[in-house]
Structures are given as C-alpha cells and as structure tokens.
C-alpha cells in the first residue's frame, strides 16, 4: 500500500521544519500535542504515461508531471526506485543542497509544500534547521541557508533558522534547563551543539553520516546504495556477528563513523577557547535516523568513555523520538520566540 | 531580601537557572531562559591565576571608569518583562456547608460568606494610551494584602477566650461592611467574608498595573486579603505570626492557581492606595513596609515601579516617607525614572509630564465612573494614617 500524500495540519500556528539530507520533517502543535509529518528528501523520475499518472493520482502518491517524466517525490520515491532498480535522486548531500543535482531546490520546494503548505496566517512563524559549519572548516552554508529561506519566505512564513544540534537540545533537555550536548546524526552530517541555559556555546558538524555508511558499504559489496539503506534501516543492529556481507560492511562503516564523531567532538571541546563553567555533569542526547539501530547508544558511549572525553557527562541517551526531535526542537524555538 | 533577589544580585546565571527550574511548561521555560540569557555570556572556565588577575583588574577599572549609579542606570532592570509565571496545581478536595478543603492543605471557613455586587470591571491598555479594554471582566486580576488594624489581645493561651471573641466580632463587622474577601485571624484560620465572584470594599481609590493593563480602584478587579494585625505606634511593621503567614501562603497559592494571577499583581494596600483630591500616593499605609513577600511565595514587589507615579503623575510627601521608613521602596525611584524617560521622549519637562499624566487620570476617573467601570469610591477598610 503506497503512502498517501500527507494531510497538512498547518493551523496557522508556528511550524518547526527539519530539512535533513535524508528526510524532511515538519512539527506542529495541535491541542497541546506535537504532531509530525515526514517525507523522504528524495525523488525519482518515471517515464510519463497517462495510465501511470492515473494510478499515482488514485493512490494519492506525491508526484508531478515534468515534460515527458513523472517525478515521484518524497517517501514513495524509494519504493519506486527499488522496483525499477535505479537510485533515488537526492536534493541534498552532506547536509546542504546537492551541487550535483540541478532539481534540488525545486524538489525540496515540492516536498515542503506537501508537508507544511503555504503560511495560513500573516506572520506565521517557521523555524527551520541548518547544520553547523564543519569542524575546522570555513563556513560554506550561506547559499544553503539563503536558498531555503527564500523558498520558505515565498510560502509566506516569518522565517528563522536554528542550528540542528541546538534543536535537539530544545527538544530533549528541558529537565536540565536546556543545558547539555545535543547530537544529531543524519544522512549527511553529524551535528553537535553544547548549550548552556539555552545558549549555544559551541557547535560544529562532522561530515560523516548515514550516507557515508551507505555509500561506503555499497562500494564494498557492489549493492545499490538504496538497497543498502533499506537493509540498514530494516535489519541492521550492533553487537551481532554477521554472516551477511552487507551487514558486516555496515558494521565496519558505522564503527568508522562513531570513531570519527567521538574524535572530532573531543578535539573540538579540547580546542575550544572558552567553555562554560559547568556546576555539574551534563547530559548528552543522540538523535537522528543514524542513531536508530539497536545498540548504537551503547557503542557510542563506549567509544566516548575510551576517548577520555573532556566534559563530565551525567548520561548518554537516545532522544525519545530520534527521527522527529530536531523538528520538535525547531518548533519549540518558534513557540518560545522572544 | 528574598532568596531570589539575593541570587539575582550575586550570580545572574545561577539566578536564571534557579528561576527556570521552577517553570513547569517547557515553552515558557525556554522563553524565560532565552530572554534571561540574552546578551549574556555564560561563565567561562578559567585557570585560578587568570581569575584572580582579571578580578583585580575589573575592580580597579570599575572604580576608575564608572560614574556613580543613577536611577536611570537602574532602569533596564525594571523595564524587563516579567518572567513566565509558574502556578501550582491546586484543587478543591472536598466541600461542606461549613468549609472548603484544598489540596495544598488550605481550609476556608465559608460560614460567614456573603455576596456583594458582582465583579465586573474594565482594565486600561497601557500600550495603547490607556484605552479601556473592550471586554468587561469578571475574573480577579490580582490580590491586595491588608491589615485589619483592629484591637488585639495578647497572644497567650490564657487569653484564648478573648482572642476568639475578638475574632468573631471582627468577622461580623468586616462581613457587614463587605470589607475584604478573606480574613486570616490570629490562629491562622481563613474566613471567606465576601464571595470571590463579588467585589469587596477593600481598596477604595487605588491604582495598580501589570505589564499590559492598568487597574483603577481595585475593589472590583483585585481580591482583598486581610490579616488580623495592628501596626503599633512606634513599631514599623505589623506583627503577624507563623500560623498567619502559613495561611497567607497557601491562600495566595490557591487563588493564584485558580485565577492565574501573576505575582506582580500581588501587592499591599500601601502600594496601591492613592488620594485623588491631592494627587498623593499612600492614602492608606497598611503594609507600607515589612510585608513578608518571600514567606508568601512571592517576589519582593516593593521593587516594582508604582504605576500611580509613572502612569498617572501622583506624588508622595514626607508623611508617606515616614510611613515607609528610611528605606525607600525601590519601586519609587524606578517609577520616577520611567516618568523622566517618558518626559524626555516627549520633549516635556518633568513637571509638564506630571501634569499631562495627572490630567489623564482626571479625565479617566470620571469617565470610568460614568460608565460604571468603577464604582463610587467605597472603602470600608480601617484607615491608619493619611496624608491629606
């Protein structure tokens, strides 16, 4: 059964939007409940035929006709790509707009339109997530952020951006007055933010995420990246002894990613010129689709302990809803705007 | 000074942290933190030697460079919006013909409760030139604390009969005059004298304001709580005992929870009382000083700027200064500073600004009376001193 086009719950109240390499998620608050909608940030082209278009329309699959092609956007694109044995096309890579994808802005616009729609009220606030600059790298995020801002402004929103790691803190660390470390491991990047009483003190990104694991494992096994991704999300877990070559490859590259993340965190915190004077150990929250496999938290914590990490931590835990916490944090920021 | 005030002065971040922990709603908490930490750098870890040398440098630099503090420099503190309110979750546990019992331990004796004219009032929009609110309101916006200033017997076991008799006489008298909504007697018993849905004659000519709304004559808009207490001649502060303080605390907690009353609207009679005939504040001076705000779970509201001064051009005189003692409420210079700033922004002299504000009051007051938004001045409380 194909996923139907989502029903937009935009009620004119503030919106949280997580524009991730892998997924785009919106968060709304309806009757004091947080509600989320998700689409894969991907698309696939099908050759046009009237019959195909009729079927897609009947099944309410998110699509558009572009010349001699039908473009299937969002979550359903993965299923069609798997059926046709082709790769999905990705509007974003490594956390920002994909420079090799000419359709990137157009496709993101379509997906956001399907999730949030245009603003329902004048001045409706929308907070969208942006990655931090890579550790030790010059800021190259201006184009990405400005492009998304333009799309969202055209939809009529009062647009603000929020760092991805900080959004995790806002979603998860209310109990410590938003003091702690938020880590968001998505498709393209891992974003890290140390927040002190809601103020982002240190944030950076590390350019290994789910896509790195998928493409590396695909290179090692000869499988399609898309197929690797489906296996990773459906089957993979830590602490297993794998006879399956794909799972084994995934395990190797996951370990690589964790070590790289812990290494860059340690380096960033050690080299920071001024860290806040913390009165007590602080929590670290892991979020994002890449943290979902069973056993990830334990493996990450073990690597962190082995690294002699310079900040005292009270706990390392997974976000309550790892796929949605970033969008939730963006919404919390919008609701609490001063 | 309340604990919160001490913390705020010593370590701003720690105060913000402490205060935020008391906010239960995550959105309100984040809003408070973002506001509280705005333009503030987190305290930074530094080696001890660096801290010492920096500290010495700061002391010298500050003493050389900074001029003496003026009222205006204190102003930013007062112009901040109040922090998001936290309210306890309190409910009615059981009710009989005789009393109500609440989940925080509060017991209200309701045997003497009588109705009065229904509560109905308009507030004034401070941000839009004091235009009256379009809606007529029936929920209380605040609480005014009073003392009965009635005769007291020594608080001793041997005088138990006399203490009880005095309470009974007082209850009957205050109820007949619809003087207060609640009385807390010397045993810490809480009596409802006037129904909460009614106005009581507790505040007379009076003014208060929160961030958004100003209120004239608070009989209708505020609840009145009176402590059975007296300010003895020569003694600066009326004495209330621990039973009364405890009762005051849980009664205030229940009322704030029930009506979502912000802390800034919980004030003493002396803070709100005015005399329009001579445009002076402090016509009544009960709780002119020494009100135990902290013990009642409130911030020290003596520090809030007086809207009677800042918004309506009232003044104070030496008699009032005597009543409040040598330590002038911080709210008074703050209100005066606000008035000065306002005058400067409108290119008026201070005297000109005061005349403008007084004229505004003189126009509003009869207009409000004509529409019935405030009742004819009714004040059935006991007058202590006045400055007419």
* Cα–Cα nearest to A333, from A153, A187, A85, A158: A158
Q: Which residues contact A63 (CB under 8 A, 6 or more apart)?
A: A53, A56, A57, A70, A71, A72, A73, A76
Q: Which of B27, B31, B33 sits opposite A197 (nearest CB)?
A: B33
A29: closest CA of chain B, how far (Å): 12
Q: By a Cβ cutoff of 8 Å, what residues of chain A touch chain B? A: 170, 174, 177-179, 196-199, 201, 274-278, 332-333, 335-338
Contact across the interface for A201 and B40, Cβ inside 8 Å: no
pLDDT in tens, A104-133: 888 999 999 999 989 988 889 999 999 988
Question: What separation in angstroms does the CA of B88 have from each of A330, B105, B252?
Answer: 28, 13, 11
Say yes or no to pLDDT of B47 above 50: no
How many Å apart are CA B92 and CA B78, to the nearest integer? 36
Helix%, strand%, coil% for chain A, nearest 5: 40, 25, 35
Close Cβ partners of A287 (under 8 Å, ≥ 6 residues apart): A168, A171, A172, A182, A183, A184, A185, A318, A319, A322, A325, A326
| Distance (Å) from the alpha carbon of A176 to chain B's nearest alpha carbon | 8
Contact B340, B72 (CB under 8 A): yes
- Residue B163 makes CB contacts below 8 A (sequence gap 6+) with B153, B155, B186, B187
| DSSP secondary structure of A103-127 | THHHHHHHHHHHHT-S-SSTT-EEE
Query: Is B371 a residue whose pLDDT tops 70?
Result: no
Q: How confident is the model at residue B209 (pLDDT cuts 50, 70, 90)?
A: very high
Q: List, in sequence order, the alpha helices (H) in chain B.
A: 3-10, 12-20, 26-36, 48-65, 71-79, 160-176, 218-221, 242-259, 269-272, 307-310, 318-324, 331-345, 350-371
Residue B189's pLDDT is: 97
Q: What is the 8-class DSSP label of residue A5?
A: P
pLDDT of residue B234: 67
What residues pair up with B107 in beta bridges, in sequence order? B101
For strand A199-206 and strand B92-95, is the pairing parallel, antiparallel, or unpaired?
A: unpaired
Q: Render the burial of B274-308: b for 16+ CB within 10 Å, e for the rest.
A: bbbeebbbbbbbbbbbbbbbeebbbbbbbbbbbbb
Q: Which residues of chain A have pLDDT under 70?
A: 1-9, 136-140, 241, 338
| Tens digit of each residue's pLDDT (9 = 90 or more) over B184-205 | 999 999 999 999 999 999 998 9
CA proximity to B133, closest of B371, B378, B376, B306: B371
By CB atoms closer than 10 A (0-12, 13-18, 19+), residue A101 is: middle
* Per-residue tokens: A190: 């891992």
Burial of A105 (0-12, 13-18, 19+ CB in 10 A): middle
B chain contacts of residue A277, beta-carbon cutoff 8 Å: 42-45
Packed helices A325-335 and A164-172: angle between N→C axes, nearest 10 degrees? 80
Residue B376 has pLDDT above 90, yes or no: no
Nearest-Cα residue of chain B relative to residue A330 = B27
Contacts of A275 in chain B (CB under 8 A): 44-45
Q: What is the pLDDT of residue B171?
A: 94
Backbone angles phi, psi at A306, to 5 degrees: -65, -20
If you compute the radius of gyration of chain B from its CA atoms, what whole number of angstroms results? 22
Query: Is it the case that residue B250 has pLDDT exceeding 50?
Result: yes
Cβ of A332 within 8 Å of Cβ of B30? The answer is yes
Q: Which residues of A35-60 are buried (b: 16+ CB within 10 A; e: fewer)?
A: ebbbbbbbbbbbeeeeeeeeebeeee
Q: Which pLDDT score is estimated for A47?
A: 84
Whether residue B4 is predicted with pLDDT greater than 80 in this model: the reply is no
ipTM: 0.85
Task: Report whether pLDDT(B43) > 90.
Answer: no
| Alpha carbon B117 to its chain's center | 24
Measured between beta carbons, the chain A residues lying within 8 angstroms of B27 are 332, 335-336
- What would the pLDDT profile of B20-29 be if each residue is shown by its tens digit? 877 888 888 8
Position B381 scores a pLDDT of 52
Answer for the pair A238, A303: CB distance below 8 angstroms, yes or no.
no
**The total number of residues written for chain B in this structure:** 388
- Return the closest-CA partner of residue B214 out of B280, B180, B260, B265: B265
Give the integer Cα–Cα distance in Å for A120 and A131: 27
What is the DSSP code (8-state) at residue A174?
A: G
Cβ separation of A275 and B45 shorter than 8 Å?
yes
- Which residue in the block uniquely carries the two structure tokens 């709603």? B25
Reported confidence tier of residue B1, pLDDT bands at 50, 70, 90? very low
Model-level pTM?
0.54
Name the nearest CA neighbour of A324 among A79, A105, A27, A82.
Answer: A27
* Residue A245, token pair as written in the block: 């070559």
Q: Which of A34, A5, A9, A32 is nearest to A327 (CA)?
A: A34
Nearest-Cα distance to chain A for B249, in Å, is 27
CA–CA distances in Å: residue B142 to residues B112, B290, B305: 23, 20, 16
**Would you state the pLDDT for residue B273?**
93
Q: At a CB cut-off of 8 Å and minimum separation 6, what does B73 contact?
A: none
Contacts of A334 (CB under 8 A, 6+ apart): A14, A15, A16, A125, A126, A127, A160
B217's CB contacts (< 8 A; 6+ apart) are: B203, B204, B205, B206, B368, B374, B375, B377
Cβ atoms within 10 Å, residue B73: 12
Option in B21, B34, B42 nearest A338 (CB)? B34
C-alpha angle B102-B108-B112 in degrees, rounded to nearest 5: 150
Using an 8 Å CB-CB cutoff, list chain A residues near B43. Answer: 276-277
Rounded Cα distance, B179 and B171, in Å:
10
Q: Report the distance separating Cα A53 and Cα A49, nearest Å.
A: 6
Q: In B, what residues contact A, Cβ < 8 A? A: 13, 16-17, 20-21, 26-31, 33-38, 40, 42-45
A19 beta partners: A24
pLDDT (0 to 100) of residue A53: 85
- Cα end-to-end distance, chain A, whole Å: 44
A199, A275, A336 member nearest B27 (Cβ): A336
Record: contact A336-B45, CB cut-off 8 A: no
Per the CB < 8 A criterion, the answer to whether B6 and B23 are in contact is: no
Cβ-nearest to B26 among A275, A277, A332: A332
Cβ atoms of A262 and A311 within 8 Å: the answer is no
pLDDT tens column, B330-342: 788 888 877 777 7
- What whole-number distance in Å separates Cα of residue A135 and Cα of residue A265? 9
Distances, alpha carbon B287 to alpha carbons A173, A241, B206, B221, B268, in Å = 42, 76, 15, 20, 6
Q: Is B167 helix (H, G, I), strand (E, B) or coil?
A: helix
Alpha-helix runs per DSSP H in B96-225: 160-176, 218-221
Residues of A in contact with B34 (CB under 8 A): 198, 336, 338
Per-residue CA distances from A5 to A12, A57, A74, A328, B304 (Å): 20, 10, 9, 21, 54
Instruction: Give me the pLDDT at residue B151, please.
Output: 87
In 3D, which of A188, A141, A139, A184 has the Cα closest to residue A164? A184
Q: Is the pLDDT of residue B256 over 50?
A: yes
Distance between CA B181 and CA B99 in Å, rounded? 15
């Amino acid at each position: 059964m194909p996923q139907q086009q989502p029903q937009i719950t935009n009620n004119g109240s503030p919106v949280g939007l997580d524009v991730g390499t892998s997924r785009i998620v919106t968060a709304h608050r309806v009757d004091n409940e947080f509600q989320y909608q998700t689409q894969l940030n991907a698309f696939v082209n099908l050759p046009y035929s009237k019959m195909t278009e009729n079927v897609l329309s009947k099944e309410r699959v998110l699509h558009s006709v572009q010349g001699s092609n039908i473009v299937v956007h969002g979550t359903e694109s993965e299923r069609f790509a798997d059926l046709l044995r082709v790769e999905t096309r990705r509007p974003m890579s490594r956390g920002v707009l994909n420079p090799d994808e000419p359709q990137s802005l157009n496709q993101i616009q379509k997906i956001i339109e399907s999730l949030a729609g245009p603003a329902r009220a004048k001045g409706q606030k929308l907070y969208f997530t942006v990655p931090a600059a890579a550790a030790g790298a010059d800021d190259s995020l201006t184009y990405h952020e400005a492009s998304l801002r333009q799309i969202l402004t055209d939809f009529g929103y009062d647009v603000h951006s929020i760092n991805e790691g900080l959004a995790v803190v806002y979603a998860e660390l209310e109990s410590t007055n938003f003091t702690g470390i938020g880590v968001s491991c998505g498709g393209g990047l891992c974003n890290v933010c140390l927040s002190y009483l809601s103020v982002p003190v240190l944030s950076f990104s590390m350019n290994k995420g789910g896509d790195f694991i998928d493409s590396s494992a695909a290179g090692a096994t000869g499988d399609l990246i898309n197929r690797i991704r489906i296996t990773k999300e459906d089957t993979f877990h830590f602490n297993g002894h794998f006879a399956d070559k794909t799972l084994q490859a995934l395990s190797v590259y996951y370990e690589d990613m964790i070590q790289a993340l812990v290494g860059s965190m340690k380096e960033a915190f050690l080299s920071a010129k001024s860290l806040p004077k913390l009165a007590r150990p602080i929590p670290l929250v892991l979020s994002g689709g890449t943290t979902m496999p069973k056993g990830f938290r334990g493996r990450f914590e073990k690597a962190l302990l082995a690294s002699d990490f310079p900040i005292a931590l009270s706990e390392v835990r997974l976000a309550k809803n790892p796929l949605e916490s970033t969008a939730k944090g963006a919404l919390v920021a919008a609701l609490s705007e001063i | 000074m309340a604990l919160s005030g001490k913390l705020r002065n010593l370590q701003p971040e720690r105060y913000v942290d402490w205060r935020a922990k008391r906010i239960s709603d995550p959105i309100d908490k984040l809003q408070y933190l973002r506001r509280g930490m705005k333009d503030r750098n987190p305290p930074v870890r530094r080696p001890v030697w660096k801290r010492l040398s920096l500290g010495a440098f700061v002391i010298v630099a500050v003493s050389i460079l900074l001029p003496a503090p003026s009222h205006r420099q204190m102003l930013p503190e007062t112009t901040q919006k109040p922090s998001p309110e936290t309210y306890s979750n309190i409910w009615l546990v059981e009710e009989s013909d005789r009393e109500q019992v609440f989940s925080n331990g509060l017991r209200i004796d309701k045997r003497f409760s009588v109705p009065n004219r229904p509560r109905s009032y308009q507030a004034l929009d401070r941000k839009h030139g004091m235009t009256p609110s379009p809606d007529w309101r029936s929920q209380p916006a605040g609480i005014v604390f009073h003392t009965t200033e009635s005769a007291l017997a020594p608080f001793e076991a041997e005088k138990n009969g006399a203490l009880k008799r005095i309470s009974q006489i007082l209850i009957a008298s205050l109820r007949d005059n619809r003087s207060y909504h609640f009385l807390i007697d010397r045993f810490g018993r809480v009596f409802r004298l006037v129904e909460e849905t009614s106005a009581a004659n507790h505040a007379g000519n009076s003014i208060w304001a929160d961030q958004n709304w100003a209120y004239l004559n608070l009989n209708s808009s505020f609840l009145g709580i009176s402590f059975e207490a007296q300010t003895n001649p020569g003694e600066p502060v009326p004495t209330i005992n621990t039973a009364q303080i405890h009762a005051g605390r849980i009664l205030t907690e229940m009322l704030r929870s029930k009506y979502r009353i912000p802390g800034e609207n919980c004030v003493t009679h002396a803070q709100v009382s005015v005399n329009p005939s001579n445009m002076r504040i402090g016509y009544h001076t009960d709780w002119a000083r020494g009100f135990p705000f902290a013990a009642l779970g409130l911030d020290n509201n003596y520090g809030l700027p007086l809207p009677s001064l800042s918004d309506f051009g009232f003044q104070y005189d030496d008699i009032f200064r005597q009543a409040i003692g040598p330590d002038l409420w911080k709210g008074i210079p703050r209100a005066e500073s606000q008035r000065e700033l306002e005058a400067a922004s409108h290119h008026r002299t201070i005297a000109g600004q005061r005349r403008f504000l007084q004229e505004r009051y003189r126009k509003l007051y009869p207009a409000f009376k004509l529409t019935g938004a405030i009742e004819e001045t009714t004040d059935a409380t006991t007058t202590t001193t006045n400055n007419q």
